């Protein structure tokens, strides 16, 4: 039976220094040689992991936590944020002095010239502060936005925007997604295209945005460095990303 493995990026493919371990690169190569289909499932925008896709020779991915799905370099599913909802959220964030970053598949822009929360959180992914463009969300497909506030201020938005999901990925930032959008939904779109069954689908992840994915696929693998919730939803827990986590997990699953 043909199998497919989806890999999260940060804390899964990339280690704590945002580097690709040699053992992980070798594991991906062996997976392919064994006839296993390999794809990425990430909260990142496509422009944020072009180099990684090239290095691993991967052309299929679920990005923006499931909102933009590409199979063999061709977009097969798009689920952009509601524009009128984004307008209302922008106005509320403006009042509360919480900056936003708007994201398309090609680029991102900020609602402010500079903010330390943006600099710190995006800096943790090795990205610079985006340029300011107040109205970038107008007449443009945004698949995800980032709201920059601390956890105690999240409540301002949770009930006010029932059509959006808010998923925290950094102490200073949350992802804004269409309601019900997840990596799991994006994965379903791709495996429908491929004709795979869920029981032949594997996924590796470590974060809060991986929970649905780890739960829904045939075999969910949580990294040793994963959050407790990811480990609770997983079928298997491998070692830390920096301790050959991908290699060890694939070995235990007998995929390499």
* Shared domain check, 116 and 30: no
The number of distinct structural domains making up the chain is 2
pLDDT tens per residue across span 11-55: 999 999 999 999 999 999 999 999 999 999 999 999 999 999 999
Say whether both 102 and 142 belong to one domain: yes
Q: What is the CATH number of the domain that holds 152?
A: 3.30.1240.10
Q: Which pLDDT belongs to residue 198?
A: 87
Where does a domain end: 178, 194, 227? 178
The residues carrying an active-site annotation are 8
Pair 206, 185: CB distance under 8 Å: no
How far is the CA of 144 from the CAs of 18, 109, 112, 205, in angstroms? 22, 12, 17, 20
What percent of the chain has pLDDT above 70? 100
Pairing of strands 219-222, 201-205: parallel
- Let me know how many helices (H) and strands (E) the chain has, helices first: 9, 13
173 shares its domain with 93: yes
DSSP per residue, 115-156: -HHHHHHHHTTT-PPPPB-TTTTTTS--SEEEEE--GGGTHH
Please tell me the distance from the alpha carbon of residue 90 to that of residue 76, in angstroms, as a whole number. Answer: 29
Which of 1-5, 83-87, 187-191 bottoms out in mean pLDDT, i.e. has the lowest?
Answer: 1-5
Q: CB–CB of 52/224 below 8 Å?
A: no
CA distance 97 to 201: 43
Q: Where are the beta strands (DSSP E) in the chain?
A: 4-7, 37-41, 61-63, 68-71, 74-78, 100-103, 108-110, 144-148, 164-170, 173-178, 201-205, 219-222, 236-237
Same domain, 70 and 106: no
User: 213: which 2 tokens?
Assistant: 């994915």
199 and 230 co-located in one domain: yes
CATH of the domain at 196: 3.40.50.1000
pLDDT at residue 211, as a whole number: 94
Res 193: pLDDT: 86
Of 178, 205, 227, the last residue of a domain is: 178
If asked whether residues 13 and 68 sit together in one domain, one would say: yes
Residue where a domain terminates, one of 156, 178, 200: 178
- Residue 69 contacts residue 235 (beta carbons within 8 Å): no
Q: Which of 250, 201, 204 is nearest to 13 (CA)?
A: 204
The residues facing 77 across adjacent strands are 69
Quote the domain boundaries for residue 221. Answer: 4-78+181-252
Phi-psi region of 73 (alpha: psi -120 to 50; beta: other; left: phi over 0): left
């Amino acid at each position: 039976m043909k199998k497919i493995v989806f890999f999260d990026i940060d804390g899964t493919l990339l280690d704590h220094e945002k580097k690709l371990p040699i053992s992980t690169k070798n594991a991906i190569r062996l997976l392919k040689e064994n006839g296993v289909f390999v794809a990425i499932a990430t909260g990142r925008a496509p422009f944020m992991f072009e180099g990684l896709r090239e290095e691993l020779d991967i052309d299929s991915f679920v990005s923006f936590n499931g909102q933009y799905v590409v199979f063999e370099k061709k977009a097969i599913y798009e689920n952009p944020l509601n524009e009128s909802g984004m307008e209302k959220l922008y106005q509320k964030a403006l009042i509360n002095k919480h900056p936003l970053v708007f994201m398309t598949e090609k680029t991102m822009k900020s609602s402010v010239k500079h903010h330390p929360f943006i600099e710190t959180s995006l800096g943790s992914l090795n990205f610079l502060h985006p340029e300011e463009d107040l109205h970038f969300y107008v007449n443009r497909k945004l698949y995800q936005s980032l709201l920059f506030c601390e956890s105690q201020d999240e409540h301002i938005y949770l009930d006010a925007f029932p059509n959006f999901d808010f998923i925290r990925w950094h102490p200073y930032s949350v992802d804004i997604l269409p309601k019900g959008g997840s990596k799991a939904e994006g994965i379903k779109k791709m495996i429908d295209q491929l004709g795979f069954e869920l029981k032949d689908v594997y996924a590796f992840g470590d974060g809060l945005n991986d929970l649905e994915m780890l739960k829904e696929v045939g075999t969910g693998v949580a990294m040793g460095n994963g959050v407790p919730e990811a480990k609770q939803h997983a079928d298997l827990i491998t070692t830390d990303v920096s301790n050959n986590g991908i290699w060890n997990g694939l070995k235990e699953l007998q995929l390499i």
